[in-house]
Amino acid sequence: MGPYTEQNTSDILMQTVQAIAELMPYYEHILEVRENRIREKEGSLMINEESEMTYNENQSGNDIAKNTILYGPPGTGKTYYTAYYSVAICEDVSIGDLEKKPYEEVLNIFNDLKEKGRIAFTTFHQSYGYEEFIEGIRPVMAGEEEKKSIEYEIVPGVFKKFCDENSQPDKRCVFIIDEINRGNISKIFGELITLIEETKRKGEEEGLTAFLPYSKQAFGVPKNVYILGTMNTADRSIALMDTALRRRFNFIEMMPDCRTIEDVVIRQNGKEVNIGNVLDIINRRIEFLFDREHTIGHAFFTSLKNEDSNSIKRLANIFRNSIIPLLQEYFYDDYEKIRLVLGDNHKKDEQFQFIKKVNIEQKELFGESIRLESTDFYSLNEDALGKIESYQGILLPPQEV
């Protein structure tokens, strides 16, 4: 007889039911924990209203939080404005006052502070880790020339070194982290994610220190050290950021500002087009078809403000090398949507369409015996990039073309 007799099967079923009954409390506990985590995650998707701000030119060094992130779409001047924010913090002046000065003058102050060690800069990336940021173990060559051997020593990372060198409470210092959202925050910050809180800084009433894993030394973040990050929302939504990081940072939104280029006008053959208006309608279409986090920044066009480079050729280069590749990335090569953004769908004359539909005869490729489902093909119209009518066509509504 086999092992699965009627009697044995009955015993197995009874044991299974009994086991399920014993496991039910644990299963219910797991479901409850999971539900709590989901609620916590959903609650964290919305940034605390107190931590979300918009750019304010009246902010001075005293008004800027110890941990701040400038976030927005590509080309909105986030990295550009780190110079203004850094100088405002170190010199305790308002950003508005700094904006009245030539940018070169602000940049000179920024570079001077950088040379003095009061400003440091790093960029996060996917391979960036705790060892580069806080401390790590590095191999070094030791011994005489003929008998060199490899030894290992503990080396401070860029942030720990910066904090160690700037522990004077009367001098504000700024550590800039470009592309902060591209790194693994939990991996890079480690235990410092708690120490960077304003109330947990060295010198504060609730100040904390942590023993570092390699050096076994106590370390804390000085209260005079400001962390200024930049974040590109087209790379990663702010809602997907590490929750622990988001709770500890203030966020300043930097969106495209068409007013900065509203006076930029390109002329050709007696015709003209306002670039501020072009960018405005492009971004409105992107926001409708995608979202506001993937709009296009004004900084792509600021070079046109210079009379020497204000030309249709320069504008064509911007569209060819920056705008169209960005749209291809945003819409995953969905050229019909790209055509909608650029107004090509309502341009009756194909010579002014940036993206043209190309008709390919299947029989020329595979012969008459093969019948395949027809597919639309698209190509970049180089000639359209050099014609002002192509850019005027971005603005015109369908009924006027």
pLDDT in tens, 156-187: 999 999 999 998 888 999 999 999 988 888 89
For 366, which DSSP code? H
Q: Domain of 352? A: 258-400
Check if the beta carbon of residue 215 is closer than 8 Å to that of residue 135: yes
Q: Tell me whether residue 357 is in a domain.
A: yes
pLDDT in tens, the chain (401 residues): 455 455 556 676 777 767 776 776 666 666 665 555 554 444 444 444 444 555 555 566 668 999 999 999 999 999 999 999 999 999 999 999 999 999 999 999 999 999 999 999 999 999 999 999 999 998 877 766 666 778 888 999 999 999 999 988 889 999 999 999 888 888 999 888 899 999 999 989 999 999 999 999 999 999 999 999 999 988 876 666 777 778 889 999 999 999 999 999 999 999 999 999 999 999 999 999 999 999 999 999 999 988 776 789 999 999 999 999 999 999 998 999 999 999 999 999 999 999 998 877 777 777 777 777 767 789 999 999 999 999 999 997 644 44
Given the DSSP bridges, would you call strands 218-219 and 210-211 parallel, antiparallel or unpaired?
antiparallel
Backbone torsion region of residue 282, taken as left when φ is above 0, otherwise alpha when ψ lies between -120 and 50, otherwise beta: alpha
Q: Tell me whether residue 317 is in a domain.
A: yes
How crowded is residue 90: how many other Cβ atoms within 10 Å of its Cβ?
22
Residues 219, 297, single domain; the answer is no
Report the distance separating Cα 343 and Cα 149, nearest Å.
66
Report the distance separating Cα 84 and Cα 105, nearest Å.
11
Report the distance separating Cα 227 and Cα 162, nearest Å.
11
Q: Tell me whether residue 140 is in a domain.
A: yes
Residues 300, 335, single domain; the answer is yes
Helix (H) or strand (E) holding 98: helix 95-99
Q: Tell me whether residue 2 is in a domain.
A: no
Beta strands in 148-224 (DSSP E): 149-156, 173-178, 210-211, 218-219
Report the distance separating Cα 2 and Cα 8, nearest Å.
10
Residues 69, 139, single domain; the answer is yes
For 354, which DSSP code? S
Residues 126, 148, single domain; the answer is yes
Residues 187, 293, single domain; the answer is no
Angle at 310 between CA 304 and CA 311, to 5 degrees: 125
**Alpha-carbon separation of residue 40 from 36, 239, 250, 349 (angstroms):** 6, 13, 20, 54
Question: What is residue 146's predicted lDDT score, i.e. its pLDDT?
Answer: 63
Report the distance separating Cα 78 and Cα 297, nearest Å.
10
Q: Tell me whether residue 205 is in a domain.
A: yes
Residues 22, 148, single domain; the answer is no
Q: Tell me whether residue 1 is in a domain.
A: no
Residues 262, 356, single domain; the answer is yes
How crowded is residue 225: how many other Cβ atoms within 10 Å of its Cβ?
23
Residues 171, 284, single domain; the answer is no
Check if the beta carbon of residue 311 is closer than 8 Å to that of residue 266: yes
Which residue among 221, 253, 285 closes a domain? 253
Check if the beta carbon of residue 384 is closer than 8 Å to that of residue 354: yes
Report the distance separating Cα 149 and Cα 21, nearest Å.
63
Number of domains in the chain: 3
Q: Tell me whether residue 3 is in a domain.
A: no
- Helix axes 78-91 and 103-115, enclosed angle (nearest 10): 70
Which amino acid would we find at residue 91? E
Check if the beta carbon of residue 77 is closer than 8 Å to that of residue 108: no
R_g (Cα) of the chain, nearest Å = 29
Q: Tell me whether residue 168 is in a domain.
A: yes
Which residue among 234, 253, 272 closes a domain? 253
Report the distance separating Cα 180 and Cα 188, nearest Å.
10
DSSP per-residue codes, 291-346: -GGG---GGGGGGGGSGGG-SHHHHHHHIIIIIHHHHHHHTTT-HHHHHHHTTGGG
CATH number assigned to the domain comprising residue 140: 3.40.50
Residues 76, 186, single domain; the answer is yes
Residues 126, 216, single domain; the answer is yes
Residues 245, 267, single domain; the answer is no
Question: What is residue 337's predicted lDDT score, i.e. its pLDDT?
Answer: 96
Indicate the pTM of the whole model: 0.80
Report the distance separating Cα 284 and Cα 381, nearest Å.
23
Question: What is residue 44's predicted lDDT score, i.e. its pLDDT?
Answer: 41
Check if the beta carbon of residue 122 is closer than 8 Å to that of residue 180: no
189 phi and psi, to 5 degrees? -80, -35
Question: What is residue 83's predicted lDDT score, i.e. its pLDDT?
Answer: 96
Which of helix, strand or coil describes residue 265?
strand
Alpha carbon dihedral 130, 132, 134, 137, in 10-degree steps, equals 90
Residues 212, 309, single domain; the answer is no
